[in-house]
Amino acid sequence: MAESAVTLTTPKELERVPLVTNDRKHTWITDKVSSIVEERTPLWWWVAFLPCSLIALIGLFCIGYQISNGVGVWGENKTVGWAWDITNFVFWIGIGHAGTLISAILFLTRQKWRTSINRAAEAMTLFAVVCAGIFPGIHVGRVWMAWFLAPIPNANGIWPNFRSPLLWDVFAVSTYFTVSVLFWYTGLVPDLATLRDRAKSRVAKYLYGIFALGWRGSNRQWRHYEMAYLLLAGLSTPLVLSVHSVVSFDFATSIVPGWHTTIFPPYFVAGAIFGGFAMVLTILLPARLLYPQLDDLVTRQHVDKMSKIILLTGTIVGYAYLTELFMAYYSGNPFEKFTFFSARMGIDNPGWYAWAYYVMMFCNVISPQLFWIKSMRTNYIAVMTVCMFVNVGMWFERFVIIVTSLAQDFLPSSWRHYSPSWVEIWTFVGTFGIFLSLFLLFMRFLPMICMFEVKLVTPEADPHHEPKKEGQH
Amino acid sequence: MAEYRKIYGLGAQFESAAALMKAAEKIRDAGFSKWDVHTPFPVHGMDKAMGLGKSWLSTPVLIGGAIGTLTATLLTFIPSWGIYPMIVHGKPFNWATLPAFFPIMFELTVLFSAFTTVFALLIMNQLPKWYHPVFNWERFSRVTDDGFFIVVEARDAKFSETKTRALLEEVGGSHVTLIHD
Amino acid sequence: MSKRILQHPTEPATGRKYWRSLGQLGDTPEFRGWLTREFPQGAAEMQGGEVSRRNFLQLMGASMALAGLSFAGCRRPEKHLVPFTRGVEWSIPGKPIFYTTARPSRRGYAPLVAVTHDGRPTKIEGNPQHPVSKGATDMHSQSSVLDLYDTDRARFFVKKGEKSDAAAFEKALDGLIGAAGDGAGLAFLLEKNNSPTRERLRGEIAKKFPKASWTVYEPLGTELADEAAAAAFGGGVAAVPVIDKADVIMSLDCDFLGVEGDVNTIREFSARRKVTGPGSKMNRLYVAENRYTVTGGIADHRMRVPASQIGAFALALAAEIATATKDAALVQTATAFGTPAMQFNAEWVKVSAEDLLKNKGASLVLVGARQPAAVQVLVAAINAALGNIGKTIVGRKLTEKPAQSIAELSKDIDDKKVKTLVIVGGNPVYNAPEDLKWADRQKSVEMVVRLGYYEDETAAHAHWNAPLTHYLESWGDGLAADGSYVSVQPMILPLFGGWSELDLLAKFAGLLKPTGPELIQETFKALANPTEFVGAWAKFLHDGFLADSAAKLEALKFDGAAAAKAVTGKSLPALAEGAYEVVFTGCAKVDDGRFTNNGWLQEIPDPITKIAWDNAALISPATAKKLGVEDNGLIAITVGNSTLTVAAILAPGHAENSISIALGYGRTVVGQVGAHTGFNAYPLRTTASPYFVTGATAKATGKAYKLALTQEHWALEGRGSDLTREATLEEYKAKPDFAKKMGMDAHIPPNVSLYTNPPLNKPESLDPHAWGMVVDLNTCIGCSACMVACQSENNIPIVGKEQVAEGREMHWIRTDRYFASTDKNDADPEMVSQPMMCQHCENAPCETVCPVNATVHSEDGLNVMAYNRCIGTRYCANNCPFKVRRFNFFDYNERNVHGRAKNPDDRKLFTGLYEWNLTSERGAEDVTKMSKNPNVTVRMRGVMEKCTFCVQRIQEAKIATKVAVRDSGDVRIPTDAFTTACAQACPADAITFGDINNPESAVSKLKASERGYRLLEYLNVGSRVTYLARIRNPNTEMPGAKDIGKAVRPKQGHKKAGHETGGKH
Amino acid sequence: MANIFPRGSNILPFKIVLCGLIAGGAVSLAVPYYFTPLYTRVGYKPAQPIPFPHDVHVAQLGMDCRYCHSFVEVAAHSNLPTTQVCMNCHQGVQKENPKLAPLHESWRTGKPIEWVQIHKTPDYVYFNHAAHVNRGVSCVSCHGRVDKMDVVYHAESHSMSWCLDCHRAPENALRPLDKITDLGWQAPLAKDQTPKEAQLELGLGLKKKWHINPPDKNCAGCHR
């Protein structure tokens, strides 16, 4: 776990803004966070959940429809073999980066402010990865043969192609999902024990009890627990960077102009953090509005810090966009130049999807610049607006990369427009339904904020009389 | 609770993490070994206060990770180089094809490590253990809220119901209670 | 057994049984009903007098598993193997047998070889021994096998819409014949066909019914050419161009490589485009035409002229030539015309005329059959003045006696002279000139007996419609384009028990209905006069033609006076200001509408417009602007009282104020395939102006129609120097290896690999083969015959118009067609065609991305595709720089595209909802299944597919070699023993396939050509397909000659120079 | 709080893990055994409409495989004999045997005998008999000792990896061409050789001499 708090020895002028405002006590934290789960289901929850689950069902119907009919119900064609499916996949997997990033990287970098948002962000990660996982699953022509992807010894004596970026994807995404679940669940155990101990109904007691695994907060357990958490954070950090790198390999290792770009891994990772944080804020800000009791835990400081990260990563992404253009120009390769300057920017030629490029540019590069202004970073409306732009922009980034590059590649004879079908659109909308439904269920049944970690960053958590201890963790 | 029950140990509650830490040091100094402190969150420095060393969880994780790397190496190389080499994109069958396998080697390393971490954690913490005598103590449910406890087990050689109760009260424990199994 | 060996029994293969379906074991009532239809009593015994040994033939080969799904075995369903009860002569289960035959067409019979598997023809190839075919075929021959298995064929004898049977039909005929007396009131309406047996039967009928009339009607006939030939050269003789003798060819609106040509003309032309080195001589082609045709596309100089200006153009040309040659006959003929307005570049005419004059006796001026006879006479005069008669134009005696025209027949009907009208084939209700009001006239005839392949528009107004047999089901004979006598022999019994044309005519001639080849044998005896009949007849069938039977050349003499007389008083067509001309063209795919129900042809994109499943009004971009219409916009064209609303498409290189519409679409009574395809332009045609009309008006309707294009984008985007390399002959001579250093290849550094690639086969290895292909862009005209050949060979499904519009056509080989121009507003862009198929890259980018190893490389250099391994990620297609991979988005083979919602409006609501979902009927019809090649897997939905270099042929050849060598180690396949379907079909010999490890093979020799280049070399994909750069042979003195080829291969600045407007259809 | 779970629940994790291990182990052993061609195909021995004893015809009467399966050397398919072929002998021999009633019935009516299929390759596999039997692969390699079978059964697994085993090491199967249909034939033993070594030596020699190079990486060898 992080270094001991240093409040005592820190000079007054350097003292940090408290992470939990209003000097809340542990019981207060427990009560407030648990109350979300324990209180009667609020009306707004049903109002939110029912449409979301309905949309999710529509999405599931579309998936079933697509599987039973064939990929042809989408709008893809001989030239544009991937479109919304992989765009959505990369979009969701990108969003799925924020949670683990907050839990792992910010943990390793001792960013204590992460404690109040990491749980929700991790949950969001999982749900986003669930949504992401749907698309590569269903985009294949023969879903029922997808087990060929698994390296199982078989009577055919044939193995998957370990050189294929798509197989790397299978490994990366499934590993990422698995490790994220483990990480998330490990973090949940002490809080589940809290709920277990507070639960009134027998069913809840049993259910929380089962999943709390009999946690009793003993120091002999905490000792290993903290080490495990540290190790998982240490493992997740390269993992989270690798996942989007591997996803970017799908494109970077190909030869399609606009895909074949060496800067993709860092560019994709930055984009993923960017989009992920925007989505975290998109979810957290309304949640905070609905649960005013969380005000002291999720503070303006959090929003401010996350906005700063959005600004940083947005600028990295913008830089990557410019680098791409420069590389295309400097390569002198007419196919590359065409893809970037004509197909994407629409300069001097039919850029079929140039509008998407400019939507992307505005949303991802221009709109976050607002966060240079401090007042904007703490203005929830402004933050929410920018985050919505970023969500849209990041989807378009993937759309631009995938569809624009494919639609107009080497042989002009094969250039082909693409437009989505209703099935594609509703499948994508449906994943939002799945995502939000899962998140609402999570809010309803699991502690949205990691109570034990928040308690840990309160001043009381520090054994005052022990000034400084060796940082063995 | 009418019938006779085996004694598990003595529990005491403390006000704060700081108080607990001090008390723990004393219990440690008193030479107890089968005892534990229970806190709502990890209290830093408690390991030392209890006389415990660094967690050795990282060792199995290292081994697990190494097995992961090895598995991935074999998994990728044996089919692609050994039992079913196929001409794919004009790429070689030999060691030069290694870079293509890095992603899978990396992912499996992480996967195996993570699984080892979690399973080793469960084993080392003896979890899941849904029944535990301390749960018989009503007050103990506050351990997941704001309660700080020390529980000295009866199987400790130095355990004596009266002396230990006195010691716990002496180090600042309140609600000292006999916990039955 | 290698493919070229023609196996044939000494005895003709009649009595072949229809290969029956897997459903046979089910023995359903439907099936039994069908059985009785297929096997009329005693049908199996038709063996020309000899005792048939095949009358017990009941089932197909032993190897085919029949599905009897009883779960007797607990581990798997029990299936049965059903052998013949008695062995079938010549038949080895699973081995194909090759028979020669010939396909009738109005241009003469195409000599063919039919490949039959277990008694069912599956593939058509050209007859390699016949000089007209030399193994090549065209689109229509290739696709004819699908017509055989067309589910919409006329299956029943229909009397006034009621199902009847053959016996009743025969009885009805007997009644008619008995009542016909001397034949007054009996009229025959037939299609053009040069079958000697038909001529013989005509004679017999004329003897029996001297007053019967005989009418031949072809909507796209040659009557104007015949009229001109009669005027210029006297009657009874046809003027035939000898294209390979001409050094300079001028084509005036004559698409002699496309709809007005055949395999023979293409080969004769391309023979003179073969360039083996800088010293090679090439012919030069000038084309003046109103729209881009494949002929215009390959031309060295092309001029856009409205069809109505061709006359004026010919006159201007005649003037130039007359001035130079002082040829009296020409002067006489030319001056018989008035002076028309000339709306074209006179310089162009002048310089090209000089070129023709320089090549007197070795030049050739061709004129389109659509042009007025007077213009054609004038062109004959020009040829005569150029000394071409007897050299590049020869005479051939007409074998058919003249017949009356449909207009004359109409008049007879009006005069109540026709009581019984016998219509054989054709579809006059659909395609007769509008002014004849044929449908009404046909209805007014007392008795109309029709023998038709479909129950079509004409059948709807006939009293009797009897099913006509396919040529693969019937005996016949005919004359090939060179006049040689060819045989037509059946491969299979009539699937639906129809009658052939000869059967019906024999009936009227009072002969017994033939049960075998006896009619043909009689003709054969008369024509060949063999000393020993049995052997000669067997050889005739085996070879497919009678040796040395090509028509003798007739002396051809241009009769100046007669010609002048013929043209005197004839005015040349003129296009009034503000009016439009409408040109009715034959469709490269469905011809005059006879192939409308052929799914392969419908789905093949038009070689020029790349429209599939429709026709459209082709208009120039400038005319479109004037009309205010864009691609897919509907325009209303009015000619006289008829108005046609038709979708427009902007056709680069089209003449202004001219509208071209392909005939053959918009049929109303047609099968599922042809329904809802295109627009019927026949109502705009009249007897007076059957091929083009002037004075039409056109206006945009503001509505739109969805055309399905396989190529959305026609511009080269300045990539010609990378993709479609070319040079002029002079540049080529100056720098023979120009193609090696063009585009990116001019400046990219060599590709260096970090590692050594795994070894592919070396010439000395155990398997010495390495497959490669060469495509000669200099001879490829883009006719797309290869596409149909490939579709037929490789079981490529038809996907239907909606799917093509979605960009999901499945063709493994395609012909890319680009237009390029240096000036973005140029109305005269250049056209390039490029066949594109899997390049079988040695470092194939598609392979590495496949997660399941479904596409990998074989040691002999094939990029192989294992369908059963594919899960359909489509990643390989994305990573293919040539975009040759095709994905089965739906179950195209199992769910019949034709069986979709009948109302097209229903389909628009939700794409696919009605068409492909699981509740829709699954399984192709049995007849459709019969057309499949058993050696190629029929792919299911969700898998990727692509050109395999006809791997089934490669494997068969390898196996055949191994079987032949047995315990010898020489497993090399004999040089060029087989080839791919596309290469085999190509009439221009533009595609060559073979073993590049074998230095003797044709492909190895061509690969060494300095014109060779590979596409996108900079990607280091190492493709196995080499393209030979196109060489243009422009006349340097022609206007604009120095710009030729510039647009296709911009020197610098890849984007700017080759940039064209929009480029999007 | 009181303990809500019984004391015995603590043993549950061990039970679960133990059961999981046992079940997992069982599944991973059962699947390769029961769900692979080695189990699903080998031993398939359906009753045929006529109980044709191969052992009698081949071993006792000395008939060659190719008498009935006459096109095996020229065609991809190895045909079943036509009724006519059977009748060549059975017009006279065993005429009254009731077991042969279906044969005579077939001969009389022309209705073919429906033999039950035993060896079946999937539709996407293009196996060619001629390519094998003409190049030194005996019938026995794939069909087992049919000459000893009273009722024919599936002797080998015919799975893809089984095919590949031989395609990668054809020397284990190659034999002189005149021994192809001699199912009991074994490579002659030199001194101190095991039959396996003798076959290997012979096979390697033939492989080299005949340029035997079966497709082992080339999917298109069997899948077109």
Per-residue pLDDT tens for A168-227?
999 999 999 999 999 999 999 999 999 998 888 889 999 999 999 989 889 999 999 999
Which pTM does this prediction carry?
0.90
CB distance from C760 to chain B under 8 Å? yes
CB distance from B85 to chain C under 8 Å? yes
C-beta of residue C60 within 8 angstroms of C-beta of residue C122 = no
The helix (run of H) or strand (run of E) holding residue D150 is none
Would you place residue B112 in the very low, low, confident or very high pLDDT band (cuts 50, 70, 90)? very high
Q: Mean per-residue pLDDT for B127-141?
A: 88
pLDDT at res. C1: 33
Q: Mean per-residue pLDDT for A434-443?
A: 94
Query: A15 Cβ partners below 8 Å, 6+ apart?
Result: A7
Which residue of B91, B130, B138 to mutate against D (max D Cβ within 10 Å)?
Answer: B130
Report the half-sphere exposure of A361 (CA within 13 A, side-chain side).
11
State how far residue C1021 is from chain D, nearest Cα, in angstroms. 19
- D159 vs A129: CA distance, rounded Å: 37
Q: Which fold has domain C223-397?
A: Dimethylsulfoxide Reductase; domain 2 (3.40.228)
Percent above pLDDT 90 for chain D: 41
Low pLDDT (below 70) residues in chain C: 1-76, 824, 895-924, 1050-1065
Token look-up 């799925």 returns A96
Q: How far is CA A274 from CA A279, A392, A448, in A?
A: 9, 12, 22
Record: contact B128-D13, CB cut-off 8 A: yes
- C178 vs C199: CA distance, rounded Å: 23
Over the stretch A104-118, which tens digit does the pLDDT of each residue have?
888 888 888 888 888
In a domain, residue B129? The reply is no
- Amino acid at the residue C96: P
Q: How far is CA A384 from CA A125, A282, A367, in A?
A: 19, 6, 11
Chain C residues in contact with A334 (beta carbon < 8 A): 718-719, 722, 744, 1054-1055
Dihedral pair phi/psi, residue A350, rounded to 5°: -70, 100
Window C:1005-1024, CB contacts with A under 8 Å: 1016, 1018-1019, 1021
Shared domain check, B118 and B74: yes
DSSP codes joined into one string, A52-95: HHHHHHHHHHHHHHHHHH-GGGSS--SS---SHHHHHHHHHHHH
Which residue of C2, C25, C943, C959 to mutate against D (max D Cβ within 10 Å)?
Answer: C959
Chain C residues in contact with A404 (beta carbon < 8 A): none
Query: What are the beta bridge partners of residue C396?
Result: C238, C553
Q: What is the CATH number of the domain that holds B36?
A: 3.30.70
CB crowding C403-433: b at 16 or more within 10 Å, else e: bbebbebbebbeeeebbbbbbbbbbbbbbbb
Which residue of B121, B139, B151 to mutate against A (max A Cβ within 10 Å)?
Answer: B121
CB distance from B39 to chain A under 8 Å? yes
Over the stretch C666-695, which tens digit does the pLDDT of each residue have?
998 888 888 888 999 999 999 988 899 988
What number of H helices and E strands is found in chain C? 32, 41
Over the stretch C768-820, which tens digit does the pLDDT of each residue have?
899 999 999 999 999 999 999 999 999 998 888 888 888 999 999 999 999 88
3-class DSSP state for residue C213?
A: strand
- Amino acid at the residue C220: L
C-beta of residue A108 within 8 angstroms of C-beta of residue A241 = no
Record: contact C755-B86, CB cut-off 8 A: no
- C261 vs C132: CA distance, rounded Å: 12
State how far residue D191 is from chain A, nearest Cα, in angstroms. 36
Structure tokens at A459: 């001043």
In a domain, residue B96? The reply is yes
Report how far Cα C983 is from the mean position of its chain's Cα atoms.
15
Structure tokens at D26: 């069982």
Chain A residues in contact with D1 (beta carbon < 8 A): 197
Query: C461 Cβ partners below 8 Å, 6+ apart?
Result: C429, C439, C442, C443, C448
Q: Which of C462, C500, C470 is nearest to C669 (CA)?
A: C462
pLDDT at res. C924: 67
- Amino acid at the residue B85: P
Query: C415 Cβ partners below 8 Å, 6+ apart?
Result: none
Query: B61 Cβ partners below 8 Å, 6+ apart?
Result: A231, B113, B116, B117, B120
Chain B residues in contact with C850 (beta carbon < 8 A): 88
Query: C473 Cβ partners below 8 Å, 6+ apart?
Result: C148, C490, C491, C492, C493, C494, C495, C498, C500
- A242 vs A257: CA distance, rounded Å: 23
DSSP conformation class of A401: I
- C865 vs C854: CA distance, rounded Å: 6
CB atoms within 10 A of CB C490: 27
Domain C580-709 class, CATH top level? mainly beta
- D94 vs C1058: CA distance, rounded Å: 85
Query: What are the beta bridge partners of residue C487?
Result: C477
Helix-helix angle A264-290:A219-252, to 10 degrees: 130
3-class DSSP state for residue C668?
A: coil
Chain A residues in contact with B41 (beta carbon < 8 A): 190, 217, 222, 452-453, 455-456, 461
> Which chain C residue has the Cα nearest residue B79?
C853
Dihedral sign computed on CA atoms, order C189, C190, C194, C200: negative
Record: contact B86-C1022, CB cut-off 8 A: no
The CATH number of the domain covering residues in C157-221+403-485+494-531: 3.40.50.740
- D127 vs D105: CA distance, rounded Å: 33
CB distance from A197 to chain D under 8 Å? yes
In a domain, residue B105? The reply is yes
Shared domain check, B118 and B67: yes
C-alpha distance across the termini of chain D, in Å: 70
Shared domain check, B70 and B103: yes
Token look-up 């024919």 returns D152
pLDDT at res. C71: 34
> Which chain C residue has the Cα nearest residue D88?
C86
C-alpha distance across the termini of chain B, in Å: 11
In a domain, residue B154? The reply is yes
CB distance from B85 to chain A under 8 Å? no
Q: Which of C763, C791, C747 is nearest to C947 (CA)?
A: C791
For B72, the domain range is 58-124
Every domain of chain A and the residues it spans:
12-150+158-253+274-306+420-461
Query: What are the beta bridge partners of residue C643?
Result: C638
Record: contact B111-A178, CB cut-off 8 A: yes
Number of domains present in the structure of chain B: 2
In a domain, residue B139? The reply is no
C-beta of residue C293 within 8 angstroms of C-beta of residue C817 = no
- Amino acid at the residue C283: N
Over the stretch C220-252, which tens digit does the pLDDT of each residue have?
988 898 888 888 888 888 889 999 999 999 999
Q: What is the mean pLDDT of chain C?
A: 84
Every domain of chain C and the residues it spans:
22-148, 157-221+403-485+494-531, 223-397, 580-709, 720-1043
Every domain of chain D and the residues it spans:
14-43, 53-79+118-221, 81-114
pLDDT at res. C920: 54
Over the stretch A12-48, which tens digit does the pLDDT of each residue have?
665 566 777 767 788 888 888 888 888 888 999 999 9
- Amino acid at the residue C976: D
Distant-in-sequence contacts of A35-44, Cβ < 8 A, 24+ apart: A35/A293, A36/A291, A36/A293, A36/A443, A36/A444, A36/A447, A36/A448, A37/A195, A37/A444, A37/A445, A37/A446, A37/A447, A38/A195, A38/A198, A38/A199, A38/A200, A41/A444, A42/A290, A44/A290
Domain C720-1043 class, CATH top level? alpha beta
Query: B52 Cβ partners below 8 Å, 6+ apart?
Result: A219, A220, A223
Q: Mean per-residue pLDDT for D64-87?
A: 90
Structure tokens at A282: 């998109």
Q: Which of A442, A438, A423 is nearest to A58 (CA)?
A: A423
Token look-up 């028309």 returns C340
pLDDT at res. C1052: 44
In a domain, residue B136? The reply is no
CB distance from C24 to chain D under 8 Å? no
pLDDT at res. A271: 92
Record: contact A155-D157, CB cut-off 8 A: yes
Record: contact D3-B132, CB cut-off 8 A: yes
Q: Which of A159, A194, A214 sits opposite B145 (nearest CB)?
A: A194
pLDDT at res. C333: 84
pLDDT at res. A14: 59
Window A:134-173, CB contacts with C under 8 Å: 139-143, 145-146, 148-149, 158-161, 163-167, 170
CB distance from A254 to chain C under 8 Å? yes
- Amino acid at the residue C285: L
CB distance from A83 to chain C under 8 Å? no
Edge-to-edge strand list for the sheet holding C991-995: C991-995, C771-776, C1025-1028, C1012-1013
State how far residue C1029 is from chain A, nearest Cα, in angstroms. 17
Which residue of A152, A156, A207 to mutate against D (max D Cβ within 10 Å)?
Answer: A156
Q: Mean per-residue pLDDT for D19-33?
A: 91
State how far residue C775 is from chain A, nearest Cα, in angstroms. 17
